[in-house]
Amino acid sequence: MRLEGKLDESIARRAEYEHVSVNFLVNRCLRKYLEWDVLSKEFGMVSVSRDILIKLFGSLDDDEIERYGRENARNYLKIVSEILGGEFTESSVIELVRRVSDYGQRFEFNIEDARENHLRRLVIRHSDGLPMSKFYAAMADELFRVMLKMDATVTTTESLCIVLVRPSGSPTERHRQMH
């Protein structure tokens, strides 16, 4: 691959600053472009400063936050997750949330599987306040419990949205479906 002179120099400086190889940095940039930038542009996503986002959500009442979260799940996240996974599934939703976390830089996302009770815990950690937690909670409830018809509960704090999901196909889920 041939890069323009200034671009090549900028990449080399950035790679040195981050203590990574130029190859690693170029691959990371291309992956982000293909996994996020193309998709986010296609769906009209824009960058908004954290301060503005916090002020906007802080001016909404709880009913508006819930309505916007549920609408976002139905009218945007479902479509994007279908594009990512070929169909709307738990896996495609989780992949979308992972990409938003990795590239959107709004929150950290972790998944923990609890083998003993067949629960999957999805944790969104952020610093945007309780209104944002409520927005994430409404989206998660709409996606997992309402739309995917999964056994899911959502709890929030000022900086966390925690979703407990019983994955499809778990022994408890199969037992419930049979009765």
Kindly provide the residue ranges of all beta strands, DSSP E only, lying in 14-169, ordered along the sequence.
108-114, 119-125, 151-156, 160-166
Burial class (CB in 10 A: 0-12, 13-18, 19+), 177: exposed
**Could you report the per-residue pLDDT of 34-76, keeping only the tens digit for each?**
888 888 888 878 888 999 999 999 999 999 999 999 999 999 9
For 114, the 3-state DSSP assignment is strand
Give the model's pLDDT for residue 179.
42
Average pLDDT over residues 154-164: 96
Assess contact for 176 and 118: CB atoms under 8 A: no
Domain 50-178 has CATH 3.30.1380: yes
Q: Are strands 108-114 and 160-166 parallel, antiparallel or unpaired?
A: unpaired
Encoding tokens for residue 102? 């990795």
Distances (CA, A) of 175 to 43, 89, 108, 115, 153: 39, 20, 33, 17, 19
Helix or strand or coil: residue 156?
strand
Which is more confidently placed, 104 or 157?
157
